[in-house]
Amino acid sequence: MRIGELATATGVETETIRYYERLGLMPAPSRQANGYRTYGPLHQERLAFIRHCRDLDMPLADIQALFQLLSHPEANGHAVEQLIDTQLARVQERLESLQTLATRLRQLRNSCSGEHPHQECGILQELRAAAQGADCVCHGTVPS
């Protein structure tokens, strides 16, 4: 299996595969006489594992850590749980801030409708007002 085949098999671009190899996330594969990389099913599994973690938005460093844990089977699973918990916390934090953001943007959007010279554009008025420290439809008073 050459790198391009692995790429189409997993949906990961060849550059990304080589990038993972450079980082040490993927083991260096054996080479053909012409220097081409050769991969087997184990490589494919490993790459799928990495991608699965990335789908969960796990940083590559955390995936590295996961591989470390995998290579020390005697340790108990708390470290793995913690990794997931940290990840979940990150996602939830981001989720909340994005929800606030979406609300703000919708309010902002509503303050500007129809055609008009943009001196009168509600959006710009809001942004200007907010820049001067005033409360605005999309931010409001920040509770200290």
Partner DNA sequence: TAAAAACCTTGTAGCCACTTCAAAGTAAAA
Partner DNA sequence: TTTTACTTTGAAGTGGCTACAAGGTTTTTA
Element (H, E) at 99: helix 78-110
Residue 54, binding choice from a second copy, DNA, none, Cβ under 5 to 8 Å by partner class: DNA
Radius of gyration for the alpha carbons in the chain, expressed in angstroms and rounded: 24
Cα distance between residue 71 and residue 24, in whole Å: 14
Q: Which residue has the tokens 């990150």?
A: 90
Tokens of 117: 């010279």
Count of all residues that appear for the chain in the document: 144
Minimum Å gap between C-beta 33 and a second copy is: 30
**Residue 30: strand pairing partners:** 38
Task: Please identify which residue in 119, 137, 140, 144 interacts with a second copy, judged by CB under 8 A.
Answer: 119
Binding-site partner at residue 15 among a second copy, DNA, none, CB < 5 to 8 Å by type: DNA
Instruction: List residues binding a second copy (CB under 8 A).
Output: 45-46, 48-49, 52-53, 55-57, 66, 69-70, 73-81, 84-85, 87-88, 91-92, 94-95, 98-99, 101-102, 104-106, 108-109, 112-113, 115-121, 123-124, 127-128, 130-133, 138-139
